[in-house]
């Protein structure tokens, strides 16, 4: 249970960093006046939950199916795969009306890189291993 909660918190932090740094990634919420707690935090936690589920269930299957592309590109196709999974996460969040948006392929690529680096850094600093 602690492993899941730590993964969820790290994913939420990584998504928040990506939304702050990339223009094409954002959460909807209050833009004027005093923001309520659930205007940004609740959507962030829900999207992190969706992202954890996508990473746990969809990513292994897509990684297995794309092994030839990963080998030919010396692993760079994993960036494309992560970008597609980020777009899929945004689509799922839109289906359930959470308010998380990824506007295009290139913001998804840069966002997936930032999320990967942030997740790696927080895992290293906090000492959580899979």
**Interval 104-129: pLDDT, tens:** 999 999 999 999 999 999 999 988 66
Tell whether the model's pLDDT for residue 36 goes beyond 80: no
Entry pTM: 0.89
Confidence of residue 37 (pLDDT cuts 50, 70, 90): low
- 51-102 pLDDT, tens digit each: 999 999 999 999 999 999 999 999 999 999 999 999 999 999 999 999 899 9
Beta bridge partners of 26: 101
8 in Cβ contact with 49 (< 8 Å): yes
CA 36 to chain centroid: 23
């Amino acid at each position: 249970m602690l492993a899941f909660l730590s993964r969820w918190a790290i994913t939420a932090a990584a998504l928040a960093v990506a939304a702050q740094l990339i223009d094409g990634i954002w959460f909807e919420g209050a833009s004027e006046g005093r923001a309520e707690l659930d205007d940004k935090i609740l959507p962030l936690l829900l999207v992190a939950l969706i992202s954890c589920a996508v990473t746990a269930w969809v990513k292994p299957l897509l990684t297995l199916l794309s092994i030839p592309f990963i080998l030919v590109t010396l692993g760079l196709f994993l960036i494309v795969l992560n970008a597609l999974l980020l777009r899929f996460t945004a689509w799922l969040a839109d289906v359930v009306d959470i308010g998380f948006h990824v506007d295009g392929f290139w913001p998804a690529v840069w966002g997936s890189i930032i999320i990967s680096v942030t997740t790696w850094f927080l895992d290293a600093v906090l000492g959580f291993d899979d």
